[in-house]
Amino acid sequence: MFEDIETHKKLSKWIIGTFTACILIYLGIRHISHVADAVMWLKDLLNPLLIGLILALFLNVPLGVIERHLFPKHPTSRKTKMRRPLAILLSFILVIGVFVGVAFLVIPELIDAVSIVISSLTNGLDQLVAFESTADYSKIPFGEQLSQIDIDFLELKDNLNEWLNQLGTTIMDTAASAFGSVVATAVDFAIGLVFSIYILANKEKLKSQITRIVRVWIPACFAERGIHVAAVCEKNFKLFVAGQTTEAIILGSLCAIGMLILRIPYAPMIGALVGVTALIPYVGAWIATLVGAFLILTVNPFKALVFIIFLLTLQQIEGNAIYPKVVGAKINLPAMWVLAAITIGGNLAGPIGMLLGVPAAAATYALLKEATDKRETHLKTQEKEQMGNSHKQNIS
CB 349 within 8 A of CB 341: no
Higher pLDDT, 342 or 150: 342
How far is the C-alpha of 28 from the C-alpha of 48, rounded, in Å? 27
- Phi, psi dihedral angles at 74 (to 5 degrees): -125, 140
CB 312 within 8 A of CB 294: no
Provide the residue type at 188 as one letter.
Answer: D
DSSP state of 137: G
The arithmetic mean of pLDDT across residues 323-338, rounded, is 68
Return the C-alpha torsion angle 374, 380, 385, 389, nearest 10: 150
How far is the C-alpha of 311 from the C-alpha of 309, rounded, in Å? 6
CB 234 within 8 A of CB 264: no
The arithmetic mean of pLDDT across residues 293-297, rounded, is 85
284: nearest Cα among 186, 360, 358, 363: 358
Indicate whether 1 pLDDT > 50: no
How far is the C-alpha of 210 from the C-alpha of 218, rounded, in Å? 12
Q: What length is written for the chain?
A: 396
What is the domain partition of the chain in residue ranges?
48-69+82-116+163-216, 218-380
Indicate whether 327 pLDDT > 70: no
pLDDT tens for each residue of 380-391: 887 777 776 666
Q: Can you say how many angstroms the Cα of residue 376 is from the centroid of all Cα atoms in its chain?
A: 34
Give every CB contact of residue 87 below 8 A, 6+ residues apart in sequence.
63, 66, 67, 70, 71
Within 13 A of 7's CA, how many CA atoms are on the CB side? 4
* Long-range Cβ pairs for the range 76-80 (8 Å, 24+): none
How much of the chain is helix, strand and coil, in % rounded to 5?
Answer: 90, 0, 10
Indicate whether 230 pLDDT > 70: yes
Residue 240, burial from CB neighbour count under 10 angstroms (0-12, 13-18, 19+) = buried
3-state SS, 312-351, equals HHHHHHHHHHHHHHHHHHHHCCCHHHHHHHHHHHHHHHHH
pLDDT value at residue 257: 92
Helix locations, 135-152, DSSP H: 143-147
DSSP state of 265: T
The pLDDT confidence band at residue 261, using thresholds 50, 70 and 90, is very high
Neighbours of 188 (CB within 10 A): 17
76-80, 127-131, 263-267: least confidently modelled range = 76-80
- Secondary structure (3-state) at 218: coil
The arithmetic mean of pLDDT across residues 279-308, rounded, is 83
Residue 54, burial from CB neighbour count under 10 angstroms (0-12, 13-18, 19+) = middle
The arithmetic mean of pLDDT across residues 149-162, rounded, is 65
How far is the C-alpha of 172 from the C-alpha of 175, rounded, in Å? 5
130: nearest Cα among 147, 153, 148: 153
How far is the C-alpha of 106 from the C-alpha of 273, rounded, in Å? 7
Return the C-alpha torsion angle 119, 121, 125, 128, nearest 10: 110
pLDDT tens for each residue of 156-176: 667 767 776 776 677 776 766
- pTM equals 0.68
- Secondary structure (3-state) at 74: coil
How far is the C-alpha of 96 from the C-alpha of 103, rounded, in Å? 10
Indicate whether 144 pLDDT > 70: no
pLDDT value at residue 153: 59
Indicate whether 348 pLDDT > 80: no
Give every CB contact of residue 355 below 8 A, 6+ residues apart in sequence.
58, 279, 280, 345
